[in-house]
A and B are shown apart, each in its own frame.
Chain A
Amino acid sequence: MTKTLGQSTQYRDRQTLLVAAVVAVQAVAAVFFVADALGDFAADGMTAHIAIEAVIAFALLAGVFIGAAHVRRLLAEARRREEALAVAKGALADHITARFADWGLTAAESDVALFALKGCDAAEIAALRGAAQGTVRAQLSQVYTKAGVTSQAGLVSLFLDDLL
């Protein structure tokens, strides 16, 4: 099966969740560790052991900050991508409508053409629209003629051409 945009968004969401979970565990660990080190310090004063613990505590805390900043970056990226995609989707939809109007497609032909662009074959379109397959075939060939192409692939490539 092909990977849809939705699936890859879910994948990225899971990645972000994973990093966030690690950051949360690290934050808890840091608080435990710092409290423990302070306890040692109160009990024994400054020792080599404490010095090492201080370095580790610093590394843990730095890890929390850097991890949190990383999560924030991942979230910001995802949001930017989402917005760019929404703009592109809107623009493409507008463009498709405009081209259909240029070609003088009827309302029914526009519907059929849109399904064809999405990759449906005549049988599927017929099922979706509750129409006879013969009707859909006739409408499709009207669409191809008006668009100046000979096949579904040709129709799709017209729009890909505009985008690339």
Chain B
Amino acid sequence: MTNAITKPRRWDPIVKLTHWGVVTAVIANAIFTEEGSGWHIWAGYGLAGLLALRLLWGLIGPAEARFTAFPPSPGRAAAHVGEIRRGDLVHRRSHNPLGALMAYAIWATLLVIVASGIAMSGPPPADPAAVKGEQSEEQAAKSDLPSFVLQTLIPPARADEDEGEEAGERAGENESDEWLEEVHEIAVNLLYVLIALHLAGVVFETRRSGREVVGSMIPGGNRRT
């Protein structure tokens, strides 16, 4: 049954859906949504759900999608660099050891982003369009809007914190959130670096071992017929 070895790699639909869903959410939050806005938080929660599903799939999915198929191992990664140097092509059903390290790095970074984001935002707002981003929110806080309007504009967890404070006294609240904001921002920047490396890795591996790399991840790719 040599075909088990030579069969082209094809990620299963859960891996594909979670990958492209996460990509969509990251692009949405990096480019399109306003920082801290309702849509930003919604996209963030969507990302959290897809990431959770992928991590669950790493425990119960088919063999090549499981964490055990691509353990995070610097030793194997070093051996893989040796393979690349010698020009050896080893066919794998799962991630190559460098790709595995990249996947774990991206997941860990996403978890930090999600955790810091949720810690700042609280539960998802009922109406994403009602919660404005950072700047508009501060403008709202400075304006003379009655407090019940602010309560609906600002996510509940934050509104709770604000209860004892004057609406104009935003500085204190900002301080307690400041380090979360810092963590969120640093992790996001780290994610950009990792994505650049990831794309470089995909391009490199495609040059080295062919279209199968990208085909394995796109819908309908790497069909045998």
A35 and B56 form a contact (CB under 8 A): no
Residue from B4, B21, B62, B124 within 8 A of A32 (CB atoms):
B124
Query: Residue A50 at the B interface, CB < 8 A?
Result: no
**Residues of A contacting B49 in the complex (Cβ-Cβ under 8 angstroms):** 24, 27-32
**Which of B21, B50, B53, B60 has most chain A Cβ within 10 Å?**
B53
Q: How far is the CB of A84 from chain B (nearest CB, A)?
A: 11
Known contacts A20-B12, A35-B45; A75/B62 CB under 8 A = yes
A24 and B12 form a contact (CB under 8 A): no
B45 and A65 form a contact (CB under 8 A): no
Query: Residue B134 at the A interface, CB < 8 A?
Result: no
Residue from A20, A39, A69 within 8 A of B17 (CB atoms):
A20
Instruction: Give the interface residue-count category, chain A.
Output: 20 to 34
A86 and B1 form a contact (CB under 8 A): yes
Q: Is the interface of A mostly helix, strand, loop or mixed?
A: helix
Query: Residue A136 at the B interface, CB < 8 A?
Result: no
Query: Residue B68 at the A interface, CB < 8 A?
Result: no
A5-32 to B contact mask, C-beta < 8 Å, 1/0? 0100100000011001101100111111
Instruction: Tell me, in angstroms, the Cα distance from A29 to B46 when the chains sit together.
Output: 8
Query: Residue A92 at the B interface, CB < 8 A?
Result: no
Q: In A41-77, which residues have CB < 8 Å from any B CB? A: 42-43, 64-65, 68-69, 71-72, 75-76
A28 and B13 form a contact (CB under 8 A): no
B14 and A20 form a contact (CB under 8 A): yes
Query: Residue B215 at the A interface, CB < 8 A?
Result: no
Query: Residue A131 at the B interface, CB < 8 A?
Result: no
**Residues of B contacting A43 in the complex (Cβ-Cβ under 8 angstroms):** 156, 160
Q: Is the interface of B mostly helix, strand, loop or mixed?
A: helix
A31 and B48 form a contact (CB under 8 A): yes
**Which of B18, B123, B124 has most chain A Cβ within 10 Å?**
B123
- How many A-B pairs with Cβ below 8 Å? 85
Q: How far is the CB of B8 from chain A (nearest CB, A)?
A: 12
Query: Residue A126 at the B interface, CB < 8 A?
Result: no
A83 and B50 form a contact (CB under 8 A): no
Residue from A6, A16, A64, A76 within 8 A of B53 (CB atoms):
A64
**Residues of A contacting B48 in the complex (Cβ-Cβ under 8 angstroms):** 31
A38 and B13 form a contact (CB under 8 A): no
Q: In B1-37, which residues have CB < 8 Å from any A CB? A: 1, 3-4, 12-14, 17-18, 21
The interface of chain A, by Cβ under 8 A from chain B, is 6, 9, 16-17, 20-21, 23-24, 27-32, 35-36, 38-40, 42-43, 64-65, 68-69, 71-72, 75-76, 79, 83, 86-87
Cross-chain pairs A/B with CB under 8 angstroms, 25 sampled: A17-B13, A20-B14, A21-B17, A23-B53, A24-B18, A24-B53, A27-B52, A27-B53, A28-B21, A28-B45, A31-B52, A32-B49, A32-B124, A36-B123, A38-B123, A40-B123, A42-B156, A64-B53, A68-B56, A72-B60, A72-B61, A76-B62, A79-B62, A83-B1, A87-B1
Q: Which 7 A-B pairs have the closest CB atoms?
A: A39-B123, A28-B49, A31-B49, A20-B13, A27-B53, A6-B225, A17-B13
